[in-house]
Amino acid sequence: MLALVTGPGGFLGRYIVEQLLARGDQVRGLARGDYPELAAAGVEMHAGDLADREAVNRAVEGVDCVFHVAGKVGVWGRWYDYFQSNVQGTLNLLGACQDSNVDRMVFTSSPSVTFDGRHQKNVDESAPYPTKWLAHYPHSKAIAENFALSMNGQPLADGREFKVCALRPHLVWGPRDHHLTARLIQRARSGQLRRVGDGHNLVDTIYVENAAEAHLLAADALAEPDSSVAGSAYFVSQGKPVNCWGWIDEILALVDLPPVDKAVSARKAVAAGLTLERWHRLTRNWEEPRMTRFLARSLSTHHYFNIEAAKRDFGYLPRVSTEEGMRRLGEWLNQPSG
């Protein structure tokens, strides 16, 4: 098939591109930046912003399936920026699929669309969206996910129906991760990393190659007649939660850093986050504060998910174990270019 990947130069997007190419699919990428290495690998690159409907229309024309991976992430910023990227960008893609008779989309969502700041233990897809939000990212992703899933079953001009599903990978990590892993290491080296809460909270994670494979499996399942995947959201993870702070200590050990030995209570971290949020908002400072309420509660609560639906409906299994993934991450981190 000819697949469009939005955000092909991003962490997860690039692994999806590589897996598509490896199995013989043609790939087109839509990105704001320039990625000559992707073009050299055979990706047909289109430059453009998701908020630009004309650019999106050009990128979507003629493709068989869209992997919508791109979006604005983070725990702080202006609502307008999150809305334009995550909501308006998704609406533009959905409209372009209708205009070009593209009948499949896999939407990369997030488990945070169900997070209200409280513990989540073995949560499945029946969990509702919260009524109050702690950050713009999960709020905007929930709106976009809801729009995407609501389009499932819409008729196309050629008589087929549009089919879409959403995947919710949690804490994606692995080689080439310049976000989660890099930030943990940078904060530890600068002496700014503190354990939040009692350190007993369990969290789900997912190794990046497993997350990418889940996207391909879901796309293939969407192509089947009467697909049970169409119109549904799915949690995907390693299948076994880890102790959040024990796992962070393991990452730090990969680069010979000591375990986190300083701590702050969850209550104090939430209070500090609220204070910093108010100050940043008052001063119109859109750089991320050192702590936010969303971050404090994410770092101190249980959040792990039931992935039986993904196993049942499109055969997802985390083929790369957490232990093997950590070994590969360590090798990458200790390369001169890591």
Tens digit of each residue's pLDDT (9 = 90 or more) over 123-133: 999 999 999 99
Mean predicted lDDT score pLDDT of the chain: 96
Q: How far apart are CA 122 and CA 172, in angstroms?
A: 18
Domain ranges (residues) in the chain: 2-171+204-238+303-319
- pTM, two decimals, is 0.95
**Res 338 pLDDT > 70:** no
Q: Among 11-20, 151-160, 281-290, 302-311, where is mean pLDDT lowest?
A: 281-290
pLDDT in tens, 302-337: 999 999 999 999 999 999 999 999 999 999 999 886
The CA distance from 185 to 265, in Å, is 21
User: Which superfamily does CATH assign the domain made up of 2-171+204-238+303-319 to?
Assistant: NAD(P)-binding Rossmann-like Domain (3.40.50.720)
Q: Which of 15, 82, 137, 234 is catalytic?
A: 137
Three-state DSSP state, 86: helix
CA gap 79, 88 in Å, rounded: 12
Q: Annotated catalytic, 137?
A: yes
Exposure string (b/e) for 122-143, b if CB count within 10 Å is 16 or more?
Answer: ebebebebbeebbbbbbbbbbb
